[in-house]
Structure 1
Amino acid sequence: MLDKFEKLILTTLQHNGRASTQELSDAVGLSPSPCWRRVKRLEDAGYITRYAAILDGKKLGLHAFAHVQVSLIDHSEASIDVFRRFVDQVDQVLECSSITGDFDYILKVAATDPEALETFIMNNILRLGVVRTTTTNFILRQMKVSGPLPLDN
């Protein structure tokens, strides 16, 4: 169970992962040493899994973002493993969630342009050998962004 100080630390770090121990201690009302110990404990307990910078995709040349719904051919362990390994290894897949409904997964994918996105879907996702079908919805404007972007396009 998290106490009020730990919740404040986590909230502060979500908005500024580079906050110093002094900045955190000022924000949550603890002295630096106890604050640092709490951060360390939160890291060790797995509440904080990593720190990241949020980048501007357009400045990196990424002008096409889409949600790609994916339906697998079957739900065998082997098919799911192939798909999961692909998702874990490919930086263009920004997010992946298992979903209910007509599809099994929804991916958030980044590409330089619509043609590159089409190529990615055709040459990577559909050639996995475990995907039955996909449906793609282009993202017109991202209102809130978090998470890493691919830099090797």
Structure 2
Amino acid sequence: MLDVYERRILRELQRNGRASMQDLSQAVGLSPSPCWRRVRKLEDEGYIRRYAAILDGKKLGLKAFAYVHISLTDHSEASVGTFNAFVDGSAQVIECASITGESDYVLKVAETDPEALEHFIMKEVLRLGVVRNAMTNFVLRQTKVAAALPVSLAEPEEG
């Protein structure tokens, strides 16, 4: 079970993953040594999987984002494996989730423009041979982009 300080560390690192140990320890109310030990523990236990930078897609020339709902032709191990391997190897797929409902998966896809997105779906996704149907919803405008998980919802606050 995470304690109050560990939850504070996780929230702060999600806010600023480049914080120095001194800044992090001040932000969470610990001295640097115990703070460092707790960070290492959170890494070792898998709470912190990796550190990453949040990039601006528009500045990178990525101007077309879409959610693509995928239905597979069947749910055999071979079909699912083919699809998962494709997703793992596709830089355009920035999120993938197996879902309930009419579709099997939903992908969040990024491309340079709508034509490139169409090409990706038509020439790569649909030609896998395991996709029965793909329904695309273009993102018109993102009103919230949050990479941070709600740590406070994971366990009740102490003290």
Same fold (TM over 0.5): yes
2:61 alignment partner in structure 1: 61
Residues in 1 aligned to 2:89 and 2:112: alpha-carbon distance in whole angstroms: 19
Residues in 2 aligned to 1:127 and 1:41: alpha-carbon distance in whole angstroms: 45
Count of aligned residue pairs for this structure pair: 147
Cα shift at 1:85? 1.1
Secondary structure at the aligned position of 2:19 is classed as coil
Residues in 2 aligned to 1:62 and 1:146: alpha-carbon distance in whole angstroms: 18
2:143 alignment partner in structure 1: 143
1:72 alignment partner in structure 2: 72
Per-residue deviation, residues 24-44 of structure 1 (Å, max 9, x unmatched): 100111100110010011011
What is the identity percentage for the equivalent residue pairs of Structure 1 and Structure 2?
A: 70
1:36 maps onto 2:48 in alignment: no
Deviates more, 1:80-89 or 1:103-112: 80-89
2:2 alignment partner in structure 1: 2
1:150 alignment partner in structure 2: none
1:131 alignment partner in structure 2: 131
Residues in 2 aligned to 1:76 and 1:118: alpha-carbon distance in whole angstroms: 27
2:91 alignment partner in structure 1: 91
2:24 alignment partner in structure 1: 24
Structure 1 unaligned spans of 5+: 148-153
- Matched to 1:21, the amino acid is M
Secondary structure at the aligned position of 1:22 is classed as helix
- Matched to 1:11, the amino acid is R
Secondary structure at the aligned position of 2:108 is classed as strand
Cα shift at 1:22? 0.7
Structure 2 unaligned spans of 5+: 148-159
Cα shift at 1:145? 2.6
Secondary structure at the aligned position of 2:7 is classed as helix
2:111 alignment partner in structure 1: 111
TM superposition outliers: structure 1 runs of 4+ over 3 Å: none
Secondary structure at the aligned position of 1:110 is classed as strand
Cα shift at 1:88? 1.2
Residues in 1 aligned to 2:114 and 2:146: alpha-carbon distance in whole angstroms: 21
